[in-house]
């Protein structure tokens, strides 16, 4: 498996950032800082309302200084989305890849995803949920990128569920597509509910939902339950 | 049980609409038409970007004509949200109340909710999901109303699950709060995924998720499965 399952987006990022392709090291660091701030802004206010002007005010930079990094509003939006994918990849997908293939990896992915949200450094769920809600009623290149990312994510979870069937931990007739659909919907929906009502029980409820579902298709529920207790 | 479990919102609606409290019948009909159009607009573009000016252009009415019905942008937004709740109540909650108390009512609520989305007259999920995503990062009276509505909705589902325990259909140790949390998250998340990717299998996957969960806590899974097959 590629270490970057959302690689298609990274390709797109390079295209989108063509204006600044030959960046100096310092320029690259500045761009990075700008993008992290943009991800943070978009997490609460959305990607559509993100403009070079707003970002310049936030970062106390000149608009022309920002234009040196992003040729247009669209370039800034796409680069910001790709930056959020990179962060998600580093913080959620990579730690899971370090664990054993099978349910342990799947469970780590889900719990790290939740902890990542809890840390609230940048609420992944919120960014992706808000962006999904923002573009689901629109047309255009950003909608296509957002929709493709969700499809890629579903396929990625499906793969991890199939691997758990191959390791003999989940039953042979487990419907990987159905479970990936449910986990994806649960995470998006729970992130929305959490942001709105700040119920501190959300993380525990999510873990229980994921655990119950996996136990219902486990070959050996007792062994799986032990794994849930011992795993991070 | 009150036939209008979201009654608190309707009270708020009356307060918000105080400017037009003494409306004529014709005035009431016009207001209704305006609000249905507003719900429709907000379903795709969000409630925050809904303005009297935009709505006037859409309905080919004068801005002053609209001001006669809504004293401010906030009044229009709150009235639109309340109208969406009224539609949801009429189209989803009332049909469920006509069925037998217990799992049949719970199952009807879930399936009508899904069919309601499928009809796409006004995608309930989309309106409430988009509005939830819109206000989860904001502060103010609209956020409070949106958050309270989700809490009321969770409590309503919980009540229907508890009734299914009382009728002896679901096990005594069923965690009603956990299941209501999962159904709520699933519906919000699935609505987002559906709007984004238009996967025609979404409705079937949702029904299966709800069915599997209820079967896992059923006293008599065979009888419950028959109910799912025979119920609307």
Instruction: Count contacts between A and B (CB, < 8 Å).
Output: 126
How does pLDDT run across A81-108, given as a tens digit for each residue? 999 999 899 989 999 999 999 999 999 9
Q: Which has the closest alpha carbon to A86: A134, A132, A39, A131?
A: A39
pLDDT given for residue A21 in this prediction:
53
DSSP per position, B28-91: HHHHHHHHHHHHHHHHHH-STT--HHHHHHHHT--HHHHHTT-SSHHHHHHHHHHHHHHHHIII
Q: Is residue A1 part of a domain?
A: no
Contact across the interface for B136 and A130, Cβ inside 8 Å: yes
- Does residue B14 carry a pLDDT above 90? no
How does pLDDT run across A104-141, given as a tens digit for each residue? 999 999 999 888 766 553 444 578 888 888 888 778 89
Instruction: Specify the range with the lowest mean pLDDT, choosing from A93-107, A159-173, B113-127, B154-168.
Output: B113-127
Tell me which range, A173-177, B115-119, B134-138, B148-152, is most confidently predicted by mean pLDDT: A173-177
- Number of structural domains found in chain B: 1
Q: Is residue A2 part of a domain?
A: no
Answer whether A130 touches B (CB < 8 Å): yes
pLDDT given for residue B207 in this prediction:
92
Instruction: Indicate the residue of A143, A192, A216 with minimum beta-carbon distance to B132.
Output: A192
Q: Is there a contact between B165 and A228 (Cβ–Cβ < 8 Å)?
A: no
Contact across the interface for B185 and A190, Cβ inside 8 Å: yes
Nearest CA in chain A to B191: A185
Q: Is residue A72 part of a domain?
A: yes
CA of A21, closest CA in chain B: separation in Å?
Answer: 31
| Cα distance from N-terminal residue to C-terminal residue, chain A | 23
How does pLDDT run across A147-165, given as a tens digit for each residue? 999 999 999 999 999 999 9
How does pLDDT run across A6-60, given as a tens digit for each residue? 544 333 444 444 444 556 788 888 888 899 999 988 887 788 888 888 888 988 9
Q: Is residue B1 part of a domain?
A: no
Which residues of A are less than 8 Å from B216 in CB distance? 212, 216
ipTM over 0.85: no
CA of B144, closest CA in chain A: separation in Å?
Answer: 9
pLDDT given for residue A8 in this prediction:
41
Cα–Cα distance between A149 and A128 in angstroms, integer? 10
Nearest CA in chain A to B151: A197
Answer whether A144 touches B (CB < 8 Å): no
Contact across the interface for B189 and A193, Cβ inside 8 Å: no
Contact across the interface for A185 and B184, Cβ inside 8 Å: no
Cα–Cα distance between A232 and B201 in angstroms, integer? 34
- Does residue B58 carry a pLDDT above 70? yes
pLDDT band at B232 (very low <50, low <70, confident <90, very high): low
pLDDT given for residue B6 in this prediction:
52
- Does residue A3 carry a pLDDT above 70? no
Mean pLDDT (chain B) is 83
Buried b (16+ CB within 10 A) or exposed e, B76-98: bbbbbbbbbbbbbbebbbebbee
Dmax (CA) for chain A in angstroms is 61
Answer whether B40 touches A (CB < 8 Å): no
Q: Is residue A222 part of a domain?
A: yes
Contact across the interface for A129 and B187, Cβ inside 8 Å: no
Question: What region, left, alpha or beta, does residue B66 occupy, with left being phi > 0 and alpha being psi -120 to 50 degrees?
Answer: alpha
Contact across the interface for B196 and A44, Cβ inside 8 Å: no
Contact across the interface for B150 and A196, Cβ inside 8 Å: yes
Touching A: B residues 182-221, CB under 8 Å: 182, 184-190, 192-193, 195-197, 202, 205-206, 208-209, 212, 216
Answer whether A48 touches B (CB < 8 Å): no
pLDDT band at A231 (very low <50, low <70, confident <90, very high): confident
Answer whether B72 touches A (CB < 8 Å): no
pLDDT given for residue A232 in this prediction:
55
Instruction: Indicate the residue of B143, B185, B196 with minimum beta-carbon distance to A193.
Output: B185
What CATH number is attached to the domain comprising B171? 1.10.357.10
Contact across the interface for B130 and A137, Cβ inside 8 Å: yes
- Does residue A202 carry a pLDDT above 60? yes
Contact across the interface for B186 and A184, Cβ inside 8 Å: no
pLDDT given for residue A9 in this prediction:
39
Contact across the interface for B132 and A209, Cβ inside 8 Å: no
> What domain range is B138 assigned to?
7-230
- Among A181, A195, A200, A216, the strongest candidate for a mutation testing the B interface, having the largest count of B CBs within 10 A, is A181
């Amino acid at each position: 498996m590629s270490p970057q399952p959302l690689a298609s987006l990274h390709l797109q990022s390079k295209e989108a950032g063509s204006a600044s392709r030959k960046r100096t090291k310092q320029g690259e660091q500045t761009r990075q800082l700008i993008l992290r701030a943009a991800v943070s802004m978009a997490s609460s206010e959305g990607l559509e309302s993100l403009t070079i002007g707003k970002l310049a005010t936030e970062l106390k930079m000149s608009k022309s200084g920002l234009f040196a990094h992003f040729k247009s509003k669209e370039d800034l939006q796409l680069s910001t989305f790709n930056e959020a994918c990179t962060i998600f990849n580093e913080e959620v997908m990579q730690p899971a890849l370090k664990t054993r293939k099978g349910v342990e990896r799947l469970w780590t992915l889900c719990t790290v995803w939740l902890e990542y949200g809890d840390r609230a450094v940048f609420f992944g769920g919120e960014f992706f949920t808000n962006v999904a809600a923002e573009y689901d009623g629109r047309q255009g290149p950003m909608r296509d990128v957002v929709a493709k990312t969700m499809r890629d994510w579903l396929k990625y979870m499906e793969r991890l569920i199939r691997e758990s069937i191959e390791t003999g931990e989940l039953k042979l007739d487990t419907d990987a597509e159905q479970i990936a659909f449910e986990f994806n919907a649960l995470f998006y929906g729970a992130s929305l509910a959490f942001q709105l009502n700040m119920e501190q029980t959300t993380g525990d409820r999510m873990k229980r939902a994921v655990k119950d579902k996996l136990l219902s298709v486990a070959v050996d529920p007792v062994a799986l339950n032990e794994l849930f207790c011992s795993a991070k």
